[in-house]
Structure 1
Amino acid sequence: MSLPPLAAVPAALQPLADRARSVLPASWPPLRQETLQRVCACSDFVYEQAVRDPQLLPVLADSGELERAFTPGELRGQLQTLLADCADEDELGRRLRRFRNRQQVRIVWRDISRQADLAETCRDLSDLADACIDLAYHWLYPRHCEQFGTPIGRRSGEAQHMVILGMGKLGAHELNLSSDIDLIFGYPEGGETEGVKRSLDNQEFFIRLGQRLIKALDPITAEGFVFRVDMRLRPYGSAGALVLSFNALEQYYQDQGRDWERYAMIKARVVGGDQAAGKQLLEMLRPFVYRRYLDFSAIEALRAMKLLIQQEVRRKGMADNIKLGSGGIREIEFIAQAFQLIHGGRDLSLQQRPLLKVLATLEGQGYLPAPIIAEMRQGYEFLRYVEHALQAIGDRQTQMLPDNDQDRARVALIMGCDSWTAFREQLLHWRGRIEWHFRQVIADPDEEEGVEAELCVGSEWLPLWEEALDEEMAGRQLAEAGFSEPAAALKRLIDLRGGSQVRTMQRLGRERLDAFIPRLLAQAVEHADPDLVLERVLPLVEAVARRSAYLVLLTENPSALQRLLNLCAASPWIAEQITRFPLLLDELLNEGRLFSPPLAPELAAELRERLTRIPEGDLEQQMEALRHFKLAHRLRVAASEIAGTLPLMKVSDYLTWLAEAMLEQVLALAWRHTVAKHGTPKRADGSLCDPDFIIVGYGKVGGLELGHGSDLDLVFIHDGDSQAETDGAKPIDGAQFFARLGQRIIHLLTTQTTSGQLYEVDMRLRPSGASGLLVSSLGAFERYQQSEAWTWEHQALVRARVLVGCARVGAAFEQVRAAVLGRERDLPTLQAEVSEMRAKMRDNLGTPSTAAGRGANAFDAAASFDLKQDAGGIVDIEFMVQYAALAWSRQHPQLHRYTDNIRILDGLRDAGLMPAADVELLQEAYKAYRAAAHRQALQKQPGKVGGEQFAEERRSVMRLWRELGLS
């Protein structure tokens, strides 16, 4: 929201405004006098400070600091100068407090006078805390070392510094006007101090130093305080050691860290001490905060925390607390942090501290719609302005609405309202909206007015799951609900319950399973075939039993569970994929995304953007990100195909675009790695390659016809100088460089990780096949194709196209391909060679019992038809298209423009080489075969159908085969 407007000072506050006369510098201009009256009316703190130090306001005014924002680092610089000649610890405390009071007056003045917005106020307060903490620490540290020696790390032998983590609003740079500061102290490693007669253990050294730092900041003296310091967020709370080593901190959070500590650690930031070591500490603790998997258990934890807060609010009568009460600041923080804890392990863009930036990311990444984010942002800013208004009055840490008329009038005035009633109306609006959004994200899905927890979804199935029913009654319940084989269904449930995965679950996981199974059964019986649903989904349940956060995901999102059951019922392939890779459950959360895969440019951009969030040197995470991206988008394509929102040709397009996006990034990763190791290869003219390398796709990927389980037929070509050495520290010749680049690409594509491999890769179509070089130079490739390649290799070249790589080399490859395909050919020889190759394939790969679809029984219902290899099938059509392209490309160059069969057939029709009716027949048959093959793949069935199917299409294809002179 914009800054609250300025309102006239009401008559009720005029006596407070009149106090300004007693502290008003005579030389002040009228506008500043009016501002002082407003500030004195609203803030006892500013008035009291001005009375205590009559020079405070004149000095601030003369410096211009009341009317301008500070530049980055200016506040720290002022304090650094102030402490430069500080002689002792008592003086340190006095100077810190005076400096804090001066800056607090300036900040409150600018806030009340609306010269500073929320962002500036929070930034200045956080910078003030950072400067006080860090400069006080650095003042104390050398003096502490003089007294107790310098702490030395036992392992590194280096001097040790403390790391001071700021938590909560300080960590997020969102400090409010009178906030406590939550701190955690750590140090890198154990050891002892050196340089004194009696050494101290490092921990004892830092505990004493931490106590001195707290003493410098926290106690209230005649000058006030600097910041109230709260150390209760440290491991073991008040009972724990004040300072722990990094190893001890890591061990604690790994073994004993609780959910609320994950929530708190989201905002942790190094605010003082050793910044470099602090960065290492936060990296060590990152896995505790952000799980690599989708973590819906975070919602349970936040819900439990919210319940405790609500109980405390009710107990202490804090309904008017704008932070903790219903619709308060904490609820917006919970919403943002729920998404951070759930998705932050995989979506690095969510790993940030400031709440407003997190909200912007939630909008930008599509987690929540823009109108919802806008409303939450405005509500949050309104409440933060109210919070500052409450605290500006007396510099007290409070979020309670006032219960007296005077302070109510002050709050209304600061918020730009002409009355408390008008302010209260705005406040109730925003709290109501925030509470509504909170309930959408955090509230229990079973919570409905008038609905008891016992009546939650699926409760009728709980006795069966908990074995409270005997076998006969359980079977009867299953049968009555629609299970056609109740005994088998019951056995599956009993086997799951008694299986090792469930028996060894921890208590929390078992509770989650017990909550989930009744919901699963309640939704399963809504399907036409609940037996099939149970058969396909229970293996997934068993697979994720030890990672029960996935069960929470489905429990918390009934619509996601429904989509899971629909997809598993439709396709065992999808059921198997989700069982093998449960992280795919994330894709079920957003129906719009699931059934609307992106187009090629958006797909490539999304993958690039996702990889940019991963540190360049973290190859393991990059490989996992690539694999997850592929799995997720392949699932989206399959789901869209099943739902009928994506026709066959588009399915192949999307799967091909996905492969191209993967290859683009794999090539970039492999290039960076190989260049970093050996330097950049050179061209023949001595200039550096960039990268002068292409990946050529053959077969299905070349023809834009990829299926769900297709491998990639690839050929690697470079146009560098094979003899010239690279320019790196470990130079190798160009031929070796590109060979290693090719090996690296294959490694990235085929290595098995926890998320499987990206693709199986077939390189046998390269020159000389398996015995040839892994990477060919462009010249060698051209020579081979012109003088050594077999006819079947030229057939393969019909479907070859550049997938990714250097545009210049890609254009040169296209010229080579056009020249080879456009050669003059002897048609009888070509017919014989194509026919011979096809005969070999039928003999080796066709259905033996039907003579590869040519026998008398080929069309019998008892026989089977191999969609790809039998006569009249896919390969016959492909061979006809390839034969035609080789036979007539010289006279009709348009035939080698495209690599997919459909458009090549269009070219044959347009050139008058094949009747339009025959072209249409082949195209429709080809699409029908491929659609059937896709259906078979999604059902995990081989690419065969009954012999009676596609009889008319097969006979027509065989007729056209003969008419082309092929045998």
Structure 2
Amino acid sequence: MNIKEKISVLPPLLQGEAQRLWEDFCQRASAMQQQLIERQASIAETLPLVWACSPFVARHCVQYPDLLENLIKTGDLLSPPDAYPSHLEDFLGDTPNEASLSQKLRLFRRREMVRIAWRDLAGWASVEETLKSLSDLADALIDGSLSRLYAQLCKQFGTPCDKNGVAQSLIVLGMGKLGGQELNFSSDIDLIFVYPHAGETVGGAGRARDNHEFFTRLGQQLINSLHTITVDGFVFRVDMRLRPFGDSGSLVLNFNALEEYYQLQARDWERYAMIKARVVAGDKKAGQVLLNMLRPFIYRRYLDYNAFESLRNMKALIDQEAKRKGLENNIKLGAGGIREVEFTCQTFQLIRGGRQPALQQRHLLTTLAHLEKYRYLSPTVTAGLREAYLFLRLAENHLQAIDDRQTQTLPDDELNRSRLAWSLGFSDWAQFLAVLEKHQALVHEQFQTVITPLDAQSGVNHSVSPWLTLWLRVASAVSDETQKTLFVSAGYVNPDEALAHLQRVAQSHALQKLSRQGRERLDKLIPLVLEMVSELPQKDIALSRLLDLISTIAQRSVYLALLIERPAVLRQLIYFCANSAWVAEQITRYPLLMDELLDHRGLYDMLKPNELDNELSHLLQHLPADDLEMQMDCLRQFKRANVMRVATEEIAGNMTPMIASDYLAAIADTLVRRALVMAWDYLIAKHGVPYCVVAGQKRPAHFCIVAYGKAGGIELSYGSDLDIVFLHDSEGESQQTDGEKPLENSVFFVRLAQRIIHILMTNTAGGSLYEVDPRLRPGGASGLLVSGFEAFQSYQHHEAWTWEHQALVRARAVAGESACLARFEQIRREVLSLQRDPEKLRLDVLEMRQKMRDNLNKTNSQQFDIKQGNGGIIDIEFMIQYAALRWSHQYPQLLTTTGVIPMLKRLAEQGLIPELACEQLSTAYHVYRAETHRLALQNQSAYLAPDAFNEHRQQVCEWWQMLLGDNKASPN
């Protein structure tokens, strides 16, 4: 079947023009060129479709038959575009003047646009390939033109330099679709011109020119080389309106001026535009420095919920403009269009990008993938948005490829409707429209879900709320009896104090200083809080905690916006603050933690303990390697966020205290491991790796960290300290690091331990990680901070007290090189498995327990000390430790755990204690641990009423007497 016959298969409406264009081509092309096409099956097969649906492609092939011949002979038409810069360099060659450059740029653009459009319409290229190819083509043409114009201008005026004589180059930022490498077929290119530093030209024939003057002229020439329509067409329409101050602003700015503008004067939409900013031409290294400078302007370190309101305002303006211009059929600006997909993604980027660097993306599809990966959007929604976006962008490209005209409005004539539908694989317009409307409905629904104020969706009616009236009167310092009456009717135990607290907040200095916007938001939020709190049983304490929190965050109106925008988050905040003084205090001190309330995947889909390392690594990988303060703040935020997740899970009843302890210990292990890595990397960069020579063999010396107590037993609570010991395996000869500033290994490891403690304990703006107690090391506070394994082993065998062996029962190596971890465990088992005199062991344990009762037990007639009191936690732990030391030489399986409950089970399994003892002691331990967690979450000490848990205390004391024969351990 020849070309004419293939054209006859097209829809009747498309056949006539395609037939005429082919006849015109045959008249202008040589017989050999016609045969070349006929012989290429893939070309001949797709030509009717491509020419019928894109008169732009057809006209260029007809007018320039050599162009199509070249694309076929080189194989370029069948291959994805690649290496544009080098191809363009070869094509441009020497360009003696602007006219020559202008012509060559347009010829190159014409050839590649035909190539890209043909591949797209023929279905040989994915949407992603087409968008990337168009963007790469633009980059190459801009950079190719800039480099030649710059060289020509330098010959005329000299080279622009800074005050130190360093040559300066123009940097071209691509914005919008070009910046995101998502350029459509006939798009404008949005550019901003920047240069690094002020200065003047050097080496010119005439007077020196100011850098600003030089680069302004260069920018004007670059625009003309791309934008001007000549007999050969144009390269790209250039839009410079995104630069500071728009059309009225300077064409070029230096870095300092640009940074100052964005910090002090830029509007919200300019911030959103900068998400896509990319260096497309000029000095790319300097350009990246600029983008790094501007990153804090784009991505805020806090959760920026102001973005909701700003994006809504921007979208409203776009909708008004679309309606005014009759653009309802615009697949970019209309409902469910491309812009709504972009806004949906940008909402998450702007709100969370500062906290989640993975969202700092220019490319929309990459952003969507990350939104799914981090579960901000469900896989179903993400897949739907991706499919819709690709369909809309494909339709946009095919629409523009008809005549190389910038339009996103669906055609209203039958011919172009047929072209668009047929090019997209639909038999008619109705079929296309049905699929389009399905995609648009999904996009618009998701956009509305993300961007619509949720307080409006929730049905909250501020105008009819009596709490709104009350608040406005209190805020205006108007006092009357009805205010107290409202608190009384709501069921407050102490309505006078509730009203007084509200009045104090209203008249506080912090609230008096609020901006108009902040005051408006507060006037929305406080009535919401009052209304929601009135539904709770524990109203008084909840309101007190919430008002303290609001007073703290009021100056940061972004947090007020969050709580207004997300009533569900506000409800969660109120619930958790009402149920936990600790949560209320943490969020008041660190309002960023409100993100954890918003992020349901965090609250109710916990990271597994073995996933924590990966999560922390991901958070740290975007931070400067040499900025310890930023890294330490990241560790602290990581801990606060994950501990908050554990707390909220436990408060909600979704997690037992024992499982919560497992998570808290896993978080601590992760942070200790990371502190070791950070400290190690820092020291080896300065001093090199520690080595030693053992039996004539040189090997690296390693290090490990051992957790004792609650951390060792995997039984951490909120606010627990870390008892840790540092060990190293350096021994033999030549114990020294191999760096330029070598240290003795003993000194190196002490400094390593000190730096680890610094990372964990230093109180930064983000607080501290943990209080660290290293006093359980050999020799206690007077001993060496770090011990070698040989010294540690010797100490444990020959010098350690019984209580130190008791501590070893609950010791666990948590960080360091695997061989070191194994060596510690070997020593631990070896020491604990020693056969001991049962009576001496019993007396030693009783003696230590009595000392603790004498010095630490706070039980009296008014309170019971859960931890130190008779029949409390320590008694259970001492029984476990005694049993491990008493029988481990016969029953090594006792040493396979460091936890109390697993140890009790092993003792019962081996018949060393009665099953009833295991059951009762385990139950008591569970109850005590649950109560200590509950008290910790209320910021209360572990003391209870003097008769609390009498039954459990009595049982613990009876088993204590049975196991250790001590009748002093009475529960009273």
Range of TM-score over shorter length: over 0.9
1:731 matched residue in structure 2: 742
| C-alpha distance after superposition, 1:460-518 (max 9, x if no partner) | 66644654964323333333334343333233222222222222222332232222222
Task: Look up the equivalent residue of 2:395 and give its one-letter code.
Answer: V
Aligned partners of 1:756, 1:476: CA distance in 2, in Å? Answer: 42
Distance in structure 1 (CA, Å) of the matches to 2:609 and 2:166: 53
TM-score, scaled relative to structure 2: 0.94
- Secondary structure of the 2:279 match is strand
Aligned to 1:101: 110
In the alignment, what sits opposite 2:657? 648
CA deviation map 1:85-125 (0-9, x unaligned): 21111111111111111111111111111121211111111
1:137 shift after superposition:
0.7
TM-superposed CA distance for 1:910, in Å, is 2.6
Q: How far apart are the structure 1 equivalents of 2:829 and 2:403?
A: 83
For the pair 1:965 / 2:952, whether they are aligned, the reply is no
* Closer, same or farther: CA 880–756 of 1 in aligned 2, 3 Å: same
Q: Which amino acid aligns with 1:835?
A: L
Q: Deviations over 1:140-174 (max 9, x none)?
A: 112111222211112x4311111111011101110
Distance (whole Å) between structure 2 residues aligned to residue 476 and residue 727 of structure 1: 77
Residue of 182, 198, 201 corresponding to 2:190: 182
What SS is found at the alignment partner of 2:197? coil
Distance in 2 (CA, whole Å) between partners of 1:555 and 1:457 is 18
Q: Are the structure 2 counterparts of residues 446 and 583 from structure 1 closer, same or farther at C-alpha, using a change threshold of 3 Å?
A: closer
**Distance (whole Å) between structure 2 residues aligned to residue 795 and residue 95 of structure 1:** 84
Within the alignment, does 1:242 sit opposite 2:244 as a pair? no
> What's the counterpart of residue 372 of structure 1?
381
CA contact (8 A) 2:658 2:929 kept: no
Contact in 2 for aligned 1:465/1:517 (Cα 8 Å): no
Contact 1:692 1:719 in 2 (8 A): yes
Q: Which residue of 1 aligns with 2:29?
A: none
Between the aligned partners of 1:272 and 1:806, the Cα distance in structure 2 is 47
The gaps in structure 1 that reach 5 residues or longer are: 1-5, 851-857
1:766 counterpart residue number = 777
Report the more deviating stretch, 236-245 or 17-26.
17-26
The counterpart of 2:359, out of the listed 325, 344, 350, is 350
TM-score, scaled to structure 1: 0.95
Pairing 1:362–2:361 present: no
Match of residue 415 from structure 1 = 424
**AA in 1 matched with 2:936:** A
For residue 304 of structure 1, report the CA deviation from its aligned partner: 0.9
1:26 aligns with 2:30: no
For 1:682 and 1:328, the matched residues in 2 are separated by 63
| Residue in structure 1 matching 2:143, options 134, 143, 156 | 134
CA distance 1:530–1:833, shift in 2 (3 Å): same
Q: 1:591 aligns with which of 595, 600, 606?
A: 600
Query: Take 1:449 and 1:701, find their aligned partners in 2: how far apart are those partners?
Result: 44
Query: For residue 711 of structure 1, what is the aligned residue in structure 2?
Result: 721
Distance in 2, matches of 1:666 and 1:392, equals 56
818-827 or 477-486: bigger deviation = 477-486
| Residue 725 (structure 1) shift | 1.5
1:837 aligns with 2:839: no
Matches of 2:952 and 2:945 in 1, distance apart?
Answer: 14
Which of residues 224, 249, 253 is equivalent to 1:215? 224
Q: Secondary structure of the residue that 1:55 maps to in structure 2?
A: helix
2:929 maps to a residue whose letter is R
SS in 2 for 1:682: strand
Q: Return closer, same or farther for 1:684/1:910 CA change in 2, 3 Å cut-off.
A: farther
Distance 2:557 2:8 in 1: 55
Return the match for 2:711 from 697, 701, 717. Answer: 701
Structure 2 residue corresponding to 1:397, chosen from 402, 406, 413: 406
**Structure 1 counterpart of 2:10, which letter?**
V
Alpha-carbon distance change, 429 to 737 in structure 1, aligned in 2, over 3 angstroms? same
2: CA distance, partners of 1:453 / 1:300:
18
Equivalent residues of 2:455, 2:567 under 8 A apart: no
Distance (whole Å) between structure 2 residues aligned to residue 329 and residue 904 of structure 1: 61
1:666 maps to 2:665? no
Deviation at 1:888, TM superposition (A): 2.4
Q: What is the aligned-residue identity percentage? A: 49
The amino acid across from 1:187 in the alignment is Y
Tell me if structure 2 keeps the 8 A contact 1:865–1:947: yes
**1:382 maps to 2:391:** yes
Correspondence 1:85 to 2:94: yes
Q: Which residue is 1:192 aligned to?
A: 200
Cα-to-partner distance string for 1:842-882 (whole Å, 9 max, x where unaligned): 1111127x3xxxxxxx5xxxx21001112221112222222
Alpha-carbon distance in structure 1 between the residues aligned to 2:333 and 2:403: 20
Could you tell me how far 1:449 is from its partner in structure 2? 12
SS at match of 1:641: helix
Distance 1:458 1:380 in 2: 45
Residue type of the partner of 2:925?
Y
Specify the alignment match of 1:69 in structure 2.
80
| Structure 1 match to 2:832 | 821
Give the C-alpha shift of residue 690 in structure 1. Answer: 6.1
Counterpart of 2:930, as a letter, is A
Taking a change above 3 Å as real, the CA distance of residues 605 and 450 of structure 1, as seen in their structure-2 partners, is closer
Who is 1:157 aligned against? 165
Confirm whether residue 629 of structure 1 aligns to residue 635 of structure 2: no
> Does the 8 A contact of 2:806 with 2:881 survive in 1?
yes
1:744 alignment partner, one of 755, 759, 777: 755
Q: Is residue 919 of structure 2 the alignment partner of residue 920 of structure 1? A: yes
* Kept after mapping to 1: 8 A contact 2:708/2:723: yes
Question: Shift of the alpha carbon at 1:689?
Answer: 6.0
CA contact (8 A) 2:455 2:564 kept: no
Q: Which of 790, 801, 809 in structure 1 is aligned with 2:801?
A: 790
**Aligned CA distance change for structure 1 residues 800 and 718 (closer, same or farther; 3 Å):** same
Does 2:443 match 1:444? no
Do residues 947 (structure 1) and 946 (structure 2) align?
yes
Equivalence map 1:509-548=2 (5 Å):
509-548=518-557
Whether the 8 Å contact between 1:822 and 1:889 is mirrored in structure 2 is: yes
Deviations along 1:311-366, one digit per CA (max 9) or x if unpaired, are 11111111111101111100000011111111111111111111001001101111
* CA apart distance, 1:446: 4.1
Does 2:508 correspond to 1:507? no
Deviations 1:809-828 (A, max 9, x none): 22221221122222232333
Query: How far 1:688 moved relative to its partner?
Result: 7.0
Preserved contact between residue 7 and residue 413 of structure 1 (Cα < 8 Å) = no
| In structure 2, distance between residues paired with 1:632 and 1:817 | 34
* Structure 2: unaligned runs, 5 residues or longer: 1-6, 27-32
Q: Deviations over 1:618-644 (max 9, x none)?
A: 433322221111111111111111111
SS in 1 for 2:849: helix
Query: Which stretch of the first structure deviates more once superposed, 234-243 or 497-506?
Result: 497-506
Deviations 1:778-831 (A, max 9, x none): 011111111111221111111111112222122221221122222232333322
Contact 1:505–1:546 (CA<8 Å) still a contact in 2?
yes
Task: Judge conservation of contact 1:697–1:712 (CA < 8 Å) in 2.
Answer: yes
Distance 2:102 2:648 in 1: 65
CA drift at 1:577:
0.7
- Cα distance in 2 between the residues matched to 1:186 and 1:802: 54
Contact kept? 1:297, 1:549, Cα under 8 Å: yes
Partner secondary structure for residue 645 of structure 1: coil
CA distance in 2, matches of 1:56, 1:696: 73
* 1:446–1:456 contact (8 Å) kept in structure 2: no
Aligned length: 947
Mapped to 1, the partners of 2:767 and 2:73 lie a distance apart of 68
The 2-side partners of 1:537 and 1:421 are apart by: 56
Pick the aligned partner of 1:681 from 690, 693, 701: 690
User: Secondary structure in 2 aligned to 1:684?
Assistant: strand
